[in-house]
Structure 1
């Protein structure tokens, strides 16, 4: 693909700097590592489905827009349903996470989820290749990423393995960053982080799409920290959700939203709170045909579809009434925002808390 990419690259850098997401300490790394070097020829735009990009002009436009790019569907199989299985994250999210990692010269970093290799190359440009290890579960993606990173002039340690186990042979690390979402922070990451180090990862729950948590690791094998915003990432492959029981449409019951406005359920603070109080209940929202609505369902055949005017509920549970009751309790707690919540990870598991590690939620 022949294109003068420099004006596009410069415009992206300018937009990132203007947004406040790209700190000065990372500017030279982003300038030295253009995004397009890590984007394969076959890519998809994520809409309601994955839409293949079919022209050179569309490819360049997508690569230098501030959007995520699907770089693999169906784990690379040619006869699948077209479900995104790997992507290159949107540049503002990449910059935001790297800034939140708070690296310093000479520190060693482990990245969980190499993907296209762009993030690993940025880390190598900032810290030196010898200080970066990146692990990828998909051997084909790992090989492609290693090639792209090498062609860009960097040589971090690109390894093939299950990121849930970290990478013991390179430990300890000063920082661990995950570019896939996890339901639980593996304690292996805590063990492999030096005391005083940081772990940054998108945590996914049932009720929320993802929230970024930053944990400080203590010398006693415990890591604690707060959530620092939303972050939607593809799940770690070992944590992909299984099939749900079907919903019986014949049980449909029509009602009204009552006292709870439908859009009051979509903030990160409520999502974290409800995720603890309604385990196993999944929430999603969107605006098909221009009409905003949310969807709730559990794994056992109950569901609710909610618009601004009405509710349809299915199955044995009254999910909207349950969500309404939890929201009332949330308001009584002072409607905490996402930054009021935190997480503690120990050898015995992880614990979500509100305002203080001494106030666990559940």
Structure 2
């Protein structure tokens, strides 16, 4: 049976070998920080279950430590309250609400952040504390402040950090407000996603400083953005290659609602194949066009339900090979999606590195190509 030290070394070597990790300081951090201290008991999805069920894996279970050092996300909380130690041996169903993100993504983001010795970093979303420990190992405890929304999650992370020998500054509160004491940070890294950039962040990061954050929405399409702060409350940047998703910050998550009732509306042929929304960037473009809508279904049968207005759009396949779209409510959601997909296609259907983002007093805008290109305003 391999030891924790051996498994850490193997994880770091694997990440370096596949090109995901190249900076020696972050390779050393991966070798040094014991992920098992932060993951503790965790949930794994039950293969083939629908809706997804989870089984708890505990330190006494065979393969627990090897599972900790797999390059995968470990769910540590369901429904904002249930940990893996709170359930029995059988499978449970719930919505993941906290996790230890796969190490390649966490380390890759820290590496991408471009920190130097002496930089002060504000982390939004302490989670298990593993990412926080990596930052503290690289920069020193005094240069890392981490904010966690959930008090129970924060308490466990604080204990794990102490056990691992790290003592960064920890804050319990709404991370979308940044550091409650303010600050002049060189970098900000978010381990949750947001519907728009919280302006306090852009007042607490120095001009010229860097922000790394995942922009998401109520259809749960995501894009990782790297922005440079250009002035107080202002920033610009681009989205990055790859496929990054994080749980949405709880204050930005969609409000609770009753079960969806499909109602009659106006019908017409769809101008696009609805299955385009199943692609990573196609779904992203649709979300930009209808930012307060939740997306369900797939393939030729897509459903958009606007949380703010109750507007609906749904597509159904036709016998002749086309699709019918039914729309109702004040927003013609599918009209907006078709227009957005058309703009994206005329731009050559770029992946997200072809998109940029600008935050200013005028609002927050995601655009294709160049800053004056076609784009969409984020919901504020």
1:62 corresponds to 2:72: no
Q: Does 1:27 align with 2:41?
A: no
Deviation at 1:323, TM superposition (A): 4.0
SS of the aligned residue for 1:43 comes to strand
More strand by share: 2
Q: Which residue of 2 aligns with 1:86?
A: 98
Secondary structure, in 3 states, of the residue corresponding to 1:180?
strand
Further displaced range: 72-81 or 159-168: 72-81
Native 8 Å contact 1:87 1:115 kept in 2 = yes
Query: Tell me, what secondary structure is at the counterpart of 1:149?
Result: helix
Alignment CA distance shift 1:23-1:307 (3 Å): farther
Match of 2:14 in 1: 15
2:246 pairs with 1:233: yes
1-structure distance, mates of 2:94, 2:261: 26
Q: 252-261 or 48-57, which moves further after superposition?
A: 252-261
Q: Deviations over 1:72-119 (max 9, x none)?
A: 112225799622111110111112211211111110101000000000
- In structure 2, relative to structure 1, the CA distance for the partners of 1:128 and 1:281 (3 Å cut) is same
Q: Equivalents in 1 of 2:297, 2:353: separation in Å?
A: 22
Q: CA deviation at 1:321?
A: 7.1
Q: Specify whether residues 248 and 139 from structure 1 end up closer, same or farther in structure 2 by C-alpha distance, changes over 3 A only.
A: closer
- How do 1:45-60 residues align onto structure 2 when only pairs under 5 Å count? 45=45, 48-54=51-57, 56-60=61-65
User: Residues 319 and 310 of structure 1: is their aligned pair in 2 closer, same or farther, counting only changes over 3 Å?
Assistant: farther
Q: What residue number does 1:193 align with?
A: 205
Give the drift of 1:357.
2.5
What's the CA shift for 1:59?
A: 2.8
8 Å Cα contact 1:245/1:301 also seen in 2: no
Deviations 1:187-225 (A, max 9, x none): 100100011110111111345521111110123541110
Superimposed CA distance per residue, residues 209-242 of structure 1 (whole angstroms, 9 cap, x where no aligned partner):
2111111012354111001143211111111212
Q: Aligned partners of 1:321, 1:201: CA distance in 2, in Å?
A: 29
Matches within 5 A, 1:290-329: 295-299=302-306, 300=310, 302-304=312-314, 316=328, 323-329=337-343
In structure 2, what is the Cα distance between the partners aligned to 1:293 and 1:59?
A: 41
Higher mean C-alpha deviation, range 37-46 or range 192-201: 37-46
In 1, Cα distance between equivalents of 2:333 and 2:229: 38
Cα distance in 2, alignment partners of residues 285 and 212 from structure 1: 24
**Match for residue 273 of structure 2 among 256, 260, 264:** 260
RMSD of the TM alignment (CA)? 3.3
Q: Following superposition of structure 1 onto structure 2, how do residues 124-203 of structure 1 map, counting pairs within 5 Å?
A: 124-169=136-181, 171-203=183-215
CA deviation map 1:260-282 (0-9, x unaligned): 372575142x4443333334344
Aligned residues: 355
* Contact kept in structure 2, 1:257 and 1:306, CA below 8 Å: no
Residue 227 of structure 2: which of 215, 234, 241 is its match? 215
Aligned-partner Cα distance in 2 for 1:169–1:250 = 49
How far 1:58 sits from its partner (Å)? 4.5
Report the alpha carbon displacement of residue 247 of structure 1 after superposing the two structures with TM: 3.8
Write the distance in 2 (CA, Å) between the matches of 1:311 and 1:37: 52
Instruction: Give yes or no for contact 2:119–2:139 (8 Å, CA) kept in 1.
Output: yes
How much does 1:156 deviate? 0.5
Residues 307-355 of structure 1: per-residue CA shift (max 9 Å, x gap): 8978686663886676445423322233233112111122453222222
Gaps of 5+ in 1: 287-291
Residue 41 of structure 1: CA displacement?
A: 2.3
Cα contact 1:265–1:327 (8 A) shared by 2: no
Hey, what does 2:353 align to over in structure 1?
339
* Unmatched tracts of structure 2, length 5 or more: none
Contact 1:182 1:235 in 2 (8 A): yes
